[in-house]
């Protein structure tokens, strides 16, 4: 059985890799083709082209790369049609993936299409589910409240759990070793995560740095750690060179895990990293902004007053957010200072994080394996 998978960004690459591992465990003869990053390649995928070409977000960010993306859409669809897989499995990145699926379905109406990560229709653009149902048969949902939205639009859908609950966590010994090796010792440690895309880092980094000036003024002993990914590491190192708190930039997986375990609090861009912080019980402040054009358009579509998954899954507002025009250093900094202190806000957030992990499948079968079972069951 051959499956064609498409992932367009690091989080999708990790989802795809776990799914591939699960499929190989259940169906050893499975073969893979498609587009993916290093994690999926480690599971045996030979990517059609570098996944990083698809890692763009925001309307204005996509426009300059539109022609190149359109060529990649056509190339990917042609490869799906040539290989005629048992299923096309698209993983998040709907702007790219669903355009590929549409071309494929127009040419081959009986092609099975499975989409991994339900669109957040509960947050904005509810019509996306109905549009997606025209080209997608089955959805693998990360959040427990999503299946009814997908089923109402005409697709089948299984909640398979969120992969964050299966990711390895560093222990106390690794955290202490990281602190010692980095010269941090017992100082309070703030993790700063300005995003994994160049646009995000360039937009949020200066604001986070300015917020840090205020935080360090209130907590002079504070140290800073900045996890990053290879394709933005140079930009991150250059930007953080002038930050206070003597930032330690980390790239390796083991070092990152140790840094998460060692951190006392975090300032993070909105995204799935909030769940990594929750899994490690690192209290956080979330801040995010698009460029002005994307902010204006998306702001009109947003239906909720929070975008952080810990808040959404638990029904709380335990994680403070500073989004859009509120993403300003003078507003962010006091919230970070409060989160570094032992108090009711910090305690409430840690409790919400524990509840969130249970709701996302902690303690059960690994999400990648659950997703694989769902795929095979759908294909019969």
CATH code of the region 2-161+364-379? 3.40.50.2000
Q: Is the CB of residue 265 less than 8 Å from the CB of residue 339?
A: yes
The encoded tokens of residue 312 equal 């959404």
DSSP string covering 132-189: HHTT-SEEEESSTT-HHHHHHTT-EEEE---GGGGS----HHHHHHHHHHTT-TTS-E
Q: Which two tokens stand for residue 351?
A: 């409790």
What is the rounded average pLDDT of the residues 344-364? 96
| Tokens of residue 222, six digits | 């504070």
3-state secondary structure of 246: coil
What is the pTM assigned to this prediction?
0.80
pLDDT-derived band at 59 (thresholds 50, 70, 90) equals very low
Q: What is the mean pLDDT of residues 240-256?
A: 96
Q: Residue with structure tokens 């890799």?
A: 17
Question: Would you say 321 and 286 are in contact if contact means Cβ atoms under 8 Å apart?
Answer: yes
Stretch(es) of the chain classified as CATH 3.40.50.2000: 2-161+364-379, 172-359
What would the mean pLDDT of 155-179 be, rounded to a whole number? 96
* The domain over range 172-359 is classified in CATH as 3.40.50.2000: yes
Question: If you average pLDDT over residues 307-332, what whole number do you get?
Answer: 94
Beta strands in 216-325 (DSSP E): 223-227, 248-250, 265-268, 284-288, 321-323
94-110 residue pLDDT tens: 989 999 999 999 999 99
pLDDT, position 295: 55
Q: What percent of the chain has pLDDT over 70?
A: 93
Average pLDDT over the chain reads 92
369 pLDDT more than 90: yes
């Amino acid at each position: 059985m051959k499956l064609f998978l498409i992932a367009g960004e690091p989080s999708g690459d990790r989802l795809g890799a776990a799914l591939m591992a699960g499929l190989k465990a259940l169906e050893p003869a499975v073969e893979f083709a498609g587009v993916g990053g290093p994690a999926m390649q480690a599971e045996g995928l030979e990517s059609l082209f570098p996944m990083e070409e698809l890692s763009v977000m925001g309307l204005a960010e996509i426009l300059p790369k539109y022609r190149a993306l359109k060529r990649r859409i056509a190339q990917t669809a042609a490869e799906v049609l040539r290989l005629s897989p048992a299923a096309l499995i698209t993983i998040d990145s709907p702007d790219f993936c669903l355009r590929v699926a549409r071309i494929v379905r127009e040419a081959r109406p009986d092609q099975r299409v499975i989409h991994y990560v339900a669109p957040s229709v509960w947050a904005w653009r509810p019509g996306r589910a109905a549009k997606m149902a025209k080209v997608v048969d089955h959805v693998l949902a990360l959040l427990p409240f999503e299946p009814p939205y997908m089923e109402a639009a005409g697709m089948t859908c299984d909640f398979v759990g969120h992969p964050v609950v299966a990711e390895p966590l560093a222990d106390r010994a690794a955290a202490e070793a990281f602190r010692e090796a980095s010269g941090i010792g017992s100082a309070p440690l703030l993790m700063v995560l300005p995003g994994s895309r160049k646009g995000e880092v360039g937009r949020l980094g200066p604001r986070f740095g300015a917020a840090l000036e205020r935080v360090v003024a209130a907590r002079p002993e504070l140290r800073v750690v900045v996890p990053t990914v290879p394709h933005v590491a140079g930009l991150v190192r250059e930007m953080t060179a002038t930050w206070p708190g003597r930032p330690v930039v980390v790239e390796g997986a083991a070092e990152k895990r140790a840094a998460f375990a060692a951190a006392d609090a975090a300032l993070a861009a909105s995204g799935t990293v909030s769940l990594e912080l929750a899994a490690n019980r690192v209290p956080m402040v979330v801040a995010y902004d698009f460029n002005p054009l994307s902010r204006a358009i998306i702001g009109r579509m947003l239906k909720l007053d929070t975008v952080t998954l810990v808040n959404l899954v638990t029904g709380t507002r335990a994680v403070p957010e500073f989004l859009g025009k509120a993403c300003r250093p003078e507003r962010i900094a006091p919230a970070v200072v409060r989160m570094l202190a032992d108090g009711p806000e910090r305690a409430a957030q840690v409790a919400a994080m524990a509840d969130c992990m249970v709701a996302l499948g902690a303690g059960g079968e690994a999400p990648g394996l659950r997703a694989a079972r769902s795929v095979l069951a759908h294909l019969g």
